Amino acid sequence: MPMERERAFLDVEMSLTGQRWSQRLDQSGRNRALAMAQSYGMSEIVARVLAGRGVGLDEAQDFLDPTLKKLMPDPQSLTDMERAVTRLSRAIRDREAVAIFGDYDVDGACASALMKRFFDHFSVPSDIYIPDRIFEGYGPNARAIGDLIDRGARLIVTVDCGSTSHDALAEAAKRGVDVIVIDHHQLSADLPPCHALVNPNREDDLSGQGHLCAAGVVFLVLVATLRRLREEHQPGHASLNLLNWLDLVALATVCDVVPLKGLNRAYVVKGLVAARHLGNPGLAALVRSAGVGGPLTPYHFGFLLGPRINAGGRIGDAALGSRLLTLGDAAAAEEIAVQLEALNRERQAMERAMLEEAEAEALYEYASGTGPAIFVTAKDGWHPGIVGLIASRLKDRLRRPVFAIAFDSSGRGTGSGRSIAGFDLGRLVRGAVEQGLLVKGGGHAMAAGLTVERCKLGALRTFLEERATSKIEALTADSELKLDGALSSSGATVGLLDALEAAGPYGAGHAQPIFAFPRHRLSNAQVVGQDHLRIEVQGSDGGRLGGIAFRAADTALGQALMAGRGATFHFAGSIAINHWQGTQRVQLRLLDAAPA
């Protein structure tokens, strides 16, 4: 007999965002949470959060204390690690000139900065090269590789790219220069010609570390290389503490939206400790520029610092981010942080204009309540550096994978896609490349990039629908908001947040806890900033709680709340600390609401 569906949480079958509310834990999960709380003496709410994210009773204690010692594998378990380490140690010993070829996003900037700092420590001459997003596109190209060799590079290290760059790496091989590829993107069995390719997602890698971002893989390479240099008694090895650089690994891990499981959890937990010391002058300058209040959190990484680093690669000098993170001079770092701040504001204005166009198209496509399984929006004149942000915004709005594509005057489109949990977008893009529908493309499960000719856009849309419809329909059949429990406004305290933080950090693969606030009166709602909605709610016990609904002003949720001031609603969202003028207040980050 089929299992009876549990009653909707607070009887909300259809919320203001069109979702059914449900308890994250079924009865067996609630029993597991109770056993966890009783066995380890932890608060029941923390136990419910852990159980709701698949943490077993035997795993709970280690999960709450993720350490590198327990979670870091032997770096040599990664395929080609030995070849990479041997070649890197030789370059350091012989003081060879090294070129670091990175990607133009946060992960690429952090991975490049890690490599650069490592070579600098051992007084090895090195330079970072970040390709121009518009004129060169993603990854190594033969012209750039040739230029680096002409300028004296005797070893090239690619980070966050290179796994599929056959032609570019063939140019280096032809010129007699070794290339080490350190990457994490999906790739086929056809490997490019290089001295070593360290990528836990290659088919012959059995390390089980495919969830790492590029900076996370680079850190393992540096750990293994430093171990080799110690064995060789290389001068300078004893004074290098790689743990101090975990701030960059944590920043990349959060911004690249890789799953916060296993080693990634330790990277972020320990990296936040390092980041809060502000020992990296570039990161410190960025924190001041962004106006971060209070201790750094994954939220600050993902929504304040990351976008500023990305701004250079999107619409300005792609090398600004990596350059900032390698600086030791505070004044120089401040200068670059100011440039990135200005570029970020410019990027925000461009994004608003492009998003307005894309949302109008989406509204038309889905006006009848149905539409394509994967939404593809494409326009002439869009900035190719912004399309990833457009795809991300629409993915959140439509709750389905989205591609946004910018076509240039020659009819070639540069696109970026974002996916939903459970659908591997990188694999789909690789399939389109194999079918000859794309000039090039690649990525990972949650994000992918592509280049397509205008004449093949229709065929690409058909391919995506044929390959994705059944899977997407299954994933989106029941639009549910899963809740971890119910709170009152007076029960949302700093102490509660401290307890919840023990079960963090939260992010991809380890969702932020979401709570319902039943029967609270909406005492105020007003638009602030760029289409955000600031609210204040009051519980039946008189407790008040301020909140913010990001980018909600023009949505059905925002319009209903603006019209419903004074009415009683059930609210749902996450809670966080808002640091303001030396005080700490709990703030609701509103995700949904329903009339009570």
What are 331-387's pLDDT values in tens digits?
Answer: 999 999 999 999 999 999 999 999 999 999 999 999 887 899 999 999 999 999 999
Please report the pLDDT score of residue 516 as a whole number.
Answer: 97
Is residue 585 a contact partner of residue 566, using CB atoms and an 8 Å limit? no
Sheet holding 412-418, edge to edge: 375-380, 402-407, 412-418, 447-453, 440-443
User: How far is Cα 497 from Cα 256, in angstroms, rounded to an integer?
Assistant: 25
Does the pLDDT at position 592 exceed 60?
A: yes
Please report the pLDDT score of residue 431 as a whole number.
Answer: 94
44 burial (CB, 10 Å; 0-12 / 13-18 / 19+) is middle
Is residue 89 a contact partner of residue 238, using CB atoms and an 8 Å limit? no
Please report the pLDDT score of residue 134 as a whole number.
Answer: 79
Does the pLDDT at position 136 exceed 90?
A: no
Please report, for the chain, the start and end positions of each structural domain, with discontinuous segments joined by +.
9-24+484-595, 70-342, 366-477
- Concatenating the DSSP letter of every residue in 67-113 gives -HHHHPPPGGGSTTHHHHHHHHHHHHHHT--EEEEE-SSHHHHHHHH
Please report the pLDDT score of residue 1 as a whole number.
Answer: 45
Per residue in 133-152, is it b (16+ CB within 10 Å) or e — as a string? beebbbbbbeebbbebbeee
Does the pLDDT at position 242 exceed 50?
A: yes
Mean pLDDT of 39-57: 91
Does the pLDDT at position 4 exceed 70?
A: no
Classified by CATH at the fold level, domain 9-24+484-595 comes out as OB fold (Dihydrolipoamide Acetyltransferase, E2P) (2.40.50)
R_g of the chain, CA atoms, integer Å:
24
Mean pLDDT of 32-59: 92
Reading phi first (left if > 0) and then psi (alpha if -120 to 50, else beta), residue 144 is in: alpha
Share of the chain above pLDDT 70, in %: 99
Does the pLDDT at position 581 exceed 70?
A: no
* Average per-residue pLDDT for the chain: 93
The dihedral through the CA atoms of 394, 395, 398, 400 has a sign that is positive
Mean pLDDT of 567-578: 94
Share of the chain above pLDDT 90, in %: 81
pLDDT band of 404, cuts 50, 70, 90: very high
At 357, the amino acid letter reads E
Is residue 35 a contact partner of residue 45, using CB atoms and an 8 Å limit? no
Cα torsion at 109, 112, 115, 121 (round to 10°)?
-70
pLDDT band of 3, cuts 50, 70, 90: low
Please write the tens of the pLDDT for every residue from 158-205.
999 999 999 999 999 999 999 999 999 988 889 999 999 999 999 999
Please report the pLDDT score of residue 554 as a whole number.
Answer: 86
β-bridge partners, 413: 407, 452
CATH, domain range 366-477: 3.10.310.30
pTM tops 0.85? yes
Number of C-beta neighbours around residue 480 at 10 A: 14
7 burial (CB, 10 Å; 0-12 / 13-18 / 19+) is exposed
Residue with structure tokens 């994705």? 468
Mean pLDDT of 28-56: 92
Please write the tens of the pLDDT for every residue from 304-337.
999 999 999 888 888 999 999 999 999 999 999 9
Per CATH, domain 70-342 is 3.90.1640.30:
yes
